[in-house]
Amino acid sequence: MKTVLDIYYTKEKHPMQMLDLYLPDTESFPVFIYFHGGGLENEDRLSGAESMKVLAANGVAAVAVDYRKYPEVQYPAFIEDCAAAVAWVKENISAYGNAEGIYVGGSSAGGYLSMMLCFDEKYLRAVGVDPTEIAGWFHDAGQPTKHFTVLKYAGEDARRIIVDETAPLYHVGKAEKYAPMRFIVSDNDIDGRYEQILLVLSTLRHFGHTNFDHKVMHGTHCHYCDIVSPVKGIFGEMVLDFIETLTK
């Protein structure tokens, strides 16, 4: 495995618009782009480093992405950043090897971001990425309704459940088809998160989509992620299982 760190993915070279590559010792590989959690206010791309290493050690190139956050920027700057990172990978990963499919996902706030890119296609299309070019989506513990931090900065009670254009759920059903998806949620997650994910799944079925599954983890919100779990890399193993399921 080798790493290529501190790559700017925009011309502005903002310190929070950087990504790290974790590359396997192979010429060809699937690529997984990861958006970290932290409530759109905290954490950074290093919070998933151990899982990125697990992926690279098992033949998957991992891309850990930073993005601008509140209070420096407002909605939807962080979504636009993540779209720009996907576009950078699409255009530049060939310099590091042969990409056998690009997969996108994230945890918690990162899961919200991956769902927004998945279901509101305008963000990827704005940077020249056709959503059908994404081989698969891994949405972990993301909020499919209006994110509680988006609510907070809009002056709303962060506990409210609102489905508007800032909510991934609002956009489900606009596309005729989606790449395969896996949803992860804990049975003792943040209040309402489990039920909200189930609503996303039923909405997808209502529109006739079947190429998705979900796994329920036993524990609290993201307890299996590097930033929380005492056993690092478990999240990476979960992503690896998803990719292997699609590529076998």
Residues in contact with 26: Cβ distance below 8 Å, sequence separation at least 6, in sequence order: 59, 97
Closest CA to 88 of 179, 12, 6, 19: 19
Which CATH code is given to the segment(s) 2-247?
3.40.50.1820
Digits of tens for pLDDT over the chain (248 positions)?
Answer: 999 999 999 999 999 999 999 999 999 999 999 999 999 999 999 999 999 999 999 999 999 999 999 999 999 999 999 999 999 999 999 999 999 999 999 999 999 999 999 999 999 999 999 999 999 999 999 999 999 999 999 999 999 999 999 999 999 999 999 999 999 999 999 999 999 999 999 999 999 999 999 999 999 999 999 989 988 999 999 999 999 999 97
Report the distance separating Cα 196 and Cα 47, nearest Å. 25
Residues in contact with 24: Cβ distance below 8 Å, sequence separation at least 6, in sequence order: 1, 56, 57, 58, 59, 60, 61
Which ranges of the chain would DSSP assign to H, the alpha helix? 49-57, 77-92, 109-119, 122-126, 148-153, 168-171, 193-206, 234-247
Total-model pTM? 0.98
What are the Cα distances from residue 219, in Å, to 43, 50, 97, 192?
21, 20, 38, 14
- For residue 131, cis peptide bond before it (omega within 30 degrees of 0): no
Neighbours of 28 (CB within 10 A): 11
Report the distance separating Cα 235 and Cα 54, nearest Å. 9
Domain boundaries, the chain: 2-247
- For residue 118, with 0-12 CB atoms within 10 Å meaning exposed, 13-18 middle and 19 or more buried, which class applies? buried
